[in-house]
């Protein structure tokens, strides 16, 4: 097995874990997510009431599709790529034009969006595009269960780092300034 299909599989699984974490975070604080949609994005409260569970549900559905692999995984990769491009464009626009934007990306309902969050989303978009272009569901078939377990381990590490990128970068900045 070459490196590209394995990396594509790692990135597909990473995206599945990230979407699962995002959906979980939104479901855990659905009321706050609804409020953030209304306050930060100007969505009417009545529309936010149905849009919030629809977004969380679509993230969960895409996570399950990505985890399934095969043709379903390829379709979910395309859907996840479209979702992240759309979300990132809207959040980046609001970030550039508003003072404070809260999106509840991974359940962090009270924290405003930062440049680190946008950088994370751009990295996820690049990962999804790479996985889609390199057949992100082929490594499991080519390498057996051992390749899948290894890919899942690496994907888990990447997902945790990306989900908590803002916090990691803030700790590094504070440590560099000698605050910690």
Longest CA–CA span in the chain (Å) reads 51
For the chain, the average pLDDT equals: 90
152 membership: H or E segment, kind and range: helix 139-163
The pLDDT confidence band at residue 159, using thresholds 50, 70 and 90, is very high
State residue 106's pLDDT score. 75
96-127 pLDDT, tens digit per residue, is: 998 788 877 776 667 888 999 999 999 999 99
The pLDDT confidence band at residue 150, using thresholds 50, 70 and 90, is very high
State residue 101's pLDDT score. 85
State residue 168's pLDDT score. 95
Say how far residue 1 (Cα) sits from the centre of its chain: 27
State residue 178's pLDDT score. 79
Q: Is the pLDDT of residue 139 over 60?
A: no
State residue 135's pLDDT score. 80
- 123 or 177, which is more confident: 123
126 membership: H or E segment, kind and range: helix 115-133
Encoded tokens for 78: 């395309």
C-alpha span between 79 and 7 (Å, rounded): 19
Q: Is the pLDDT of residue 49 over 70?
A: yes
DSSP calls for 44-106: -HHHHHHHHHHHHHHHHHHHHHHHH-HHHHHHHHHHHHHHHHHHHHHHHHHHHHSS-----TT
Q: Where are the domains of the chain?
A: 3-176
């Amino acid at each position: 097995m070459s490196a590209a299909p394995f990396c594509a599989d790692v990135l597909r699984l990473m995206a599945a874990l990230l979407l699962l974490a995002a959906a979980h975070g939104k479901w855990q604080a659905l009321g706050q997510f609804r409020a953030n949609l209304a306050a930060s994005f100007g969505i009417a409260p009545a529309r936010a009431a149905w849009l919030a569970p629809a977004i969380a549900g679509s993230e969960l559905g895409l996570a399950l599709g990505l985890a399934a692999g095969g043709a379903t995984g390829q379709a979910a990769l395309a859907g996840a790529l479209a979702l992240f491009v759309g979300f990132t464009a809207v959040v980046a626009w609001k970030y550039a034009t508003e003072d404070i934007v809260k999106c509840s990306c991974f359940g962090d309902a009270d924290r405003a969006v930062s440049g680190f969050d946008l950088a994370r989303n751009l990295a996820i978009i690049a990962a999804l595009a790479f996985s889609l272009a390199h057949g992100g569901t082929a490594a499991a078939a080519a390498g057996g269960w051992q390749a899948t377990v290894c890919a899942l381990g690496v994907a888990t590490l990447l997902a945790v780092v990306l989900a908590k990128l803002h916090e990691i970068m803030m700790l590094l900045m504070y440590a560099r300034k000698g605050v910690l």
